[in-house]
Amino acid sequence: MARIVHSGGMLAFVIETFPQRLRRWGAGQAQALRVLLTLGSLMAACGASNRMDAVTPLFLGAIASALAETDDSARGRYRAQIVTLLCFAAAAFAVSALIDRPALFITSLALAAFWLTMLGAVEARYKAIAYATLILAMYTTLGIGNHPLAGPDERLHELLLLLAGAAWYGVFSVAWCLALPAQPVQARLARLYSVLGHYVRFKASLFEPLRGIDIERKRLSLAQLNADVVAELNAAKESIFRRIGARAPTGRIARYRGLYLIAQDVHERASSSHDDYNALADAFFHSDLLYRCQRVLHLEGEACRRLAQSIERREPFVADTATVQALAELRSAIAHERSHAREPARQALLASIEALAHNLERLDGQLAGASEPTARAGRTDMGLLDRSPRSWRDAAERVRHQLSPRSPLFRHALRLAIALAAGYGVMWLIHPAQGYWILLTTLFVCQQTWGDTMSRMGQRMAGTAVGVVVGWALLDLFPQHLVQALLAVAAGVLFFATRSARYLLATACMTVLVLMCFNQVGDGGVLIVPRLVDTAIGSLIAGLAMVLVLPHWQGRRFNELAAAAMRNQALYLREIAEQYRAGARDDLPYRLARRNAHNADAALAVAVSEMFREPALVRPRAGVALRFLIQSHTLLSYLSALGAHRVALRSPALAVATRGAAEGAAQALEALAADVERGSAEAIEAATAPADERPALADLLATDGEGGDAAAQLIRTELSLIGQQIEALRGHALQWLRPVVEASE
C-alpha cells in the first residue's frame, strides 16, 4: 500500500512539475519535443493503417517544416506556416514537373537557389523558410529518384505526403506557441544573462595587480565574449518584439522587456573601462584596491548567473547582500588610500578607481532592480526599434541593396547556385539514379564563410560515416520493423537536439533515420555505399566552390567593417556628449546608438575570428587586424565608461567644452573611417590631428571650481584615453594599408 501511495505521489509530482519543466526548456529542447510528438504520431498512424511506405515522405516533410521554424508569436507562426506550405508546394510540384528535363531542371534549381538565398536579406523568418524550401526540393528529388518508374498519380501521392508531414509539424508548432507564448522569450533571457554573467566574470580577471600580465590577450578574449553578448541581446530583443509589436505589452512579456533593458545597461557598465589597466596595476601593486574591485565585479557576474537561473525557473530574484558588503569595503579601502595618496599621478588614478566603484554600485543597483515585478528600473522610455520590413517594397529594397558582388550574401547565393549546378553535372556522370544525395550534401555543407564550410565538410563526412556504421549495425541487430521505426523517431529527435552544437552527431542521427525509414519499404542497406560516396562528392564540390566561385575572404571586407565600427563609435560619442549637457536619459536614440556601436564591434570581432580560420595564404596581415580589433574594442570600452556616468554638468561652459572635445574626437574617427574605407594610406599619413579641445577642458577644471567634480574629472580622463586610442587606430590602419610599414618595424 505504501508503494502504491508513493508511486501515486511521484506520478502527481511529475504531472504537477511537467508544465514548469516545459517552460524551462530552451529552443532546442522544445523543438526536439515537438519533433518527437510529430514523428511519433506519424509513425503510429502509418503503423495503424499498415502504410509504412508513407513514413519516409511524411518524415522528410516534417523535418523540412521544422527547419523552417523560427521564434515567433502564435499569430506570426501561423502566418509563417501558411507561407512555408505555399513555398513547399511550389517547390515540390516544380521539381516533379521539371525533373525529367535535365537542362530546364538544373537551370530552374540554380535560379531558385540564388533568389531564395537572397531572401535572407529580408529577415531571419524568410531566410529560414527559403532554406527549408530548398531542402524540401532536394527531398522531393530523393523521393522521385528512389521510384524512377512511378506514374503521375504515384508522384502526386508522394508530394502530398511530403506536404502533409510539413503541415502536421506546423500544427504542433502553432499549438505550442498558443500554449506557451512566453517560453521562447524566457529561454532567450535566461541565455542572455548566463552569457552576460560569463562576460562580467571574465572582465573581473583584468583587475589583477600583477606585473607582466598580457592585458592585450585578455582584451581580445573580452572582445570575442562581447560579440556573444551582443548576439544574445539581439536575439532576445527580436524574440520580445515578436510578442509585442506596436502595442504596449502586459504581464510576463512586460517584465521580460524590462529585464532586457536592464541587461543592456548592465552590459554598458560592465564593458566600460576607466583607465589603463597596466597603469592601475603599477600604481596599486602593493594595495588590495584592485582585488576588491575584482571581487565586486565577480560577485556581480555571479548575480547575473543567478538571475538567469531565476528566469529559467520562473522564481523571484533575490539580490545577494554579499555584493553590498563588498562595495562598502571597497569604499573604505578607497578612503584609506585617499588619505595616504600624495603624488598627483596617483591621485588621478585613484579618481579612476572611485569612478569605477561608483559604476559598480550603479551596476549592482540595476541588478537589484531585476527583482521588481515590473523591472522598469526607473525608465520612462521602454520602446524598442522594429527592424522588420514594413512593406513588400521595403523587403524588395533590402534584397536589391544586397545585389552587389561586394555583398557576402550575394556571393554565397551565386556560389551555392553554381555548386548545385556542378553537383548535378557530376551526378549525371556517376550515377543519376540515386545521385541526388550529392545535391543535398552540397546544400547542407556550402556555408557563407570558409571556416563554417570547412567545419561542415569534415563533420558531414565523419558524421555520415559514423551514421552508416551505426545504422548498418542497428539494421542487423534489430530486424523488426517496429523497433526500426522507433529508432527512426529517436534519431530524428536527436538530430534536432544536437544540430546547433554537435553537427557531427546530428549528421550521424539523420543518416540513421534515413536508413531506418527506407528499410521500412525496401532494403535500406543499398543506400550505405551511395550515401558515403555522394556525401564525399557533395562536400568536395562545396569546398571547391568556396575557393573558385567569388571567394570572399575576411581580409577583403576588413576595411568596410573597421570603418563601420569607427563611424558607429563616433555616433555613440555624440549621443553621450549630448546627455552630459541635458542629463542622462535612456531614450531610444541613445540606446540605438549604443547598440549599433556594439553591433559593429561584434561584426568586426567575428570577421577577425573568421580570418584566422582561413588559409594562411589569404591572411598575411591578420596580426594587424587583430591589433586593430583590440584597440577598437578598448576605445568602445572608454566610450562605455563615459556613457555609464552620464550626468548634467553644472557649468554651461564645461558642457560646451565637453561637447567640443567629443565632437573633435568624433570627427577624427569619421575621417579615419573614410580613409580606411577608401584604402587611402596617403590620406591617413597626411592627415593632421584635429584641434584638441582637451586643454580648454583642463583649464575649466582648474578655474571653474569643478576641479573636484567626479564627473568632470572622469570626462577629462576618458577623452584623453579616447584620443590615445584614435592615434593607435591610425597607426594600425597605416600598417594594414601599407604592409611595408609593418615589415620594416
Which CATH number do you get for residue 219?
1.20.58.220
Residue with cell 575557393: 547
User: Is 608 in the same domain as 708?
Assistant: yes
pLDDT at 657: 82
pLDDT band (50, 70, 90) for residue 340: confident
In a domain, 6, yes or no: no
Task: Judge whether 162 and 143 are in contact, CB under 8 Å.
Answer: yes
Which residues, 6+ apart, have CB-to-CB distance to 422 below 8 Å? 541, 545
Count of beta carbons in the 10 Å neighbourhood of residue 154? 12
CB 736, CB 672: distance < 8 Å: no
Residues 272 and 346 in one domain: yes
Give the mean pLDDT of 651-666: 84
| Residue 115 placed within a domain | yes
Q: What is the DSSP letter of 618?
A: G
User: Given the C-alpha cell 513555398, which residue does it identify?
Assistant: 87
d(CA 151, CA 721): 75
Is residue 193 in some structural domain?
A: yes
pLDDT of residue 55: 86
CA 654 from centroid of its chain's CA atoms: 41
Please tell me the distance from the alpha carbon of residue 685 to that of residue 692, in angstroms, as a whole number.
18
pLDDT number for residue 118: 94
Check residue 21 and give its pLDDT: 52
Q: Is residue 737 part of a domain?
A: yes
**Does residue 509 carry a pLDDT above 90?**
yes
Span 73-111, pLDDT tens digits: 888 899 999 999 999 999 999 999 998 898 999 999 999
Residue 300 CA to residue 366 CA, distance in Å, equals: 10
Percent of the chain, pLDDT > 90?
43
Q: What is the mean pLDDT of residues 382-389?
A: 70
Q: Are residues 221 and 325 in the same domain?
A: yes
Confidence of residue 742 (pLDDT cuts 50, 70, 90): very low
CB atoms within 10 A of CB 391: 8
Q: Burial level of 356, CB count in 10 A (0-12/13-18/19+)?
A: buried
pLDDT band at residue 382 using 50, 70 and 90 as cut-offs: low
Specify whether 590 is located in the same domain as 705: yes
- Provide CB contacts within 8 A for 579, sequence distance 6+: 585, 590, 646
Q: Are 84 and 132 in contact (CB under 8 A)?
A: yes
Q: What is the pLDDT of residues 110-129, one digit of tens each?
A: 999 999 999 988 988 899 99
CB 399 within 8 A of CB 118: yes
Q: What is the mean pLDDT of residues 395-419?
A: 92
Q: How many domains does the chain have?
A: 4
pTM exceeds 0.85, yes or no: yes
Same domain, 341 and 431: no
Q: Give the residue-averaged pLDDT of 47-66.
A: 88
Nearest to 728, CA basis, from 216, 379, 292, 293: 216
Same domain, 465 and 332: no
Shared domain check, 339 and 264: yes
pLDDT, one tens digit per residue, over 708-728 is 467 778 888 888 889 999 999
Q: For the chain, first and last CA: distance in Å?
A: 85
Q: Where is 515: in which H helix or E strand?
A: helix 503-518
- Interatomic CA distance for residues 553 and 603, integer angstroms: 15
CATH of the domain at 695: 1.20.120
- Alpha carbons 725 and 731: distance in angstroms, whole number: 10
**Cβ atoms of residues 337 and 289 within 8 Å:** yes
Which of 155, 181, 207 finishes a domain? 181
With CA atoms as reference, report the closest residue to 43 among 426, 372, 492. 492
Confidence of residue 68 (pLDDT cuts 50, 70, 90): very high
Q: Are the CB atoms for 190 and 28 separated by under 8 Å? A: no
278 DSSP 8-state letter: H
Q: In degrees to the nearest 10, what's the CA dihedral of 325, 328, 330, 334? A: -170
Same domain assignment for residues 187 and 328: yes
Mean pLDDT of the chain: 84
Enter the C-alpha cell of residue 218. Answer: 585578455
| Cβ 715 vs Cβ 658: under 8 Å | yes
> Do residue 559 and residue 546 come from a single domain?
no
- Confidence (pLDDT) at 580: 85
The helix (run of H) or strand (run of E) holding residue 242 is helix 215-244
**Looking at 174-311, which runs of residues are DSSP E strands?**
none
| d(C-alpha 151, C-alpha 144), whole Å | 10
- Least confident among 85-89, 154-158, 200-204, 228-232: 154-158
Q: Per-residue confidence at 6, pLDDT binned at 50, 70, 90?
A: very low
User: What's the pLDDT band for 695 if we cut at 50, 70, 90?
Assistant: low
**Per the domain annotation, does 390 fall within a domain?**
no
CA distances from 609 to 83, 88, 542, 604 (A): 36, 36, 22, 9
Contact 584, 647 (CB under 8 A): yes
In this model, does residue 177 exceed pLDDT 70? yes
Q: 234 lies in a domain?
A: yes
Of 502, 517, 552, the residue at which a domain comes to its end is 552
- What's the rounded mean pLDDT across residues 44-54? 85
φ, ψ dihedrals at 693, nearest 5°: -85, -5
Give the Cα separation of 297 and 293 in Å (integer): 6
Please choose, from the candidates 177, 176, 164, 226, the residue with its C-alpha nearest in 3D space to the C-alpha of residue 198.
226
For residues 172-186, give the mean pLDDT: 90
Look at residue 636 and give its three-state secondary structure.
helix
Using the 3D structure, point to which of 146, 181, 216 is the last residue of a domain: 181
656 shares its domain with 588: yes
pLDDT given at position 524: 57
Model confidence at 23, pLDDT cuts 50, 70, 90, reads low
Cα distance between residue 745 and residue 743, in whole Å: 6
Instruction: Please state, as a whole number, how many other Cβ atoms lie within 10 Å of the Cβ of residue 623.
Output: 12
- Dihedral through CA 456, CA 461, CA 467, CA 471, nearest 10? 150
How far is it, in rounded angstroms, from Cα 369 to Cα 641?
21
CA-based Rg of the chain, rounded to a whole angstrom? 29
- What pLDDT shows up at residue 206? 85
> Same domain, yes or no, for 177 and 187?
no
Q: What residues make up the domain containing 227?
A: 183-369
Q: Is residue 8 part of a domain?
A: no
Helix/strand/coil for 58: helix
Residue 274 sits in the same domain as residue 363: yes
689: confidence class by pLDDT, cuts 50, 70, 90: low
Asked whether residue 392 is domain-assigned, the answer is no
Residue 706 has pLDDT above 70, yes or no: no
Is the pLDDT assigned to residue 540 strictly greater than 80? Answer: yes
Instruction: Tell me which residue has cell 543518416.
Output: 511
Contact 611, 623 (CB under 8 A): no
pLDDT band at 595 (very low <50, low <70, confident <90, very high): very high
- Confidence (pLDDT) at 228: 94
Residues 6+ apart with CB under 8 A from 592: 385
Query: Which segment of 440-444, 488-492, 726-730, 734-738 scores lowest on mean pLDDT?
Result: 734-738
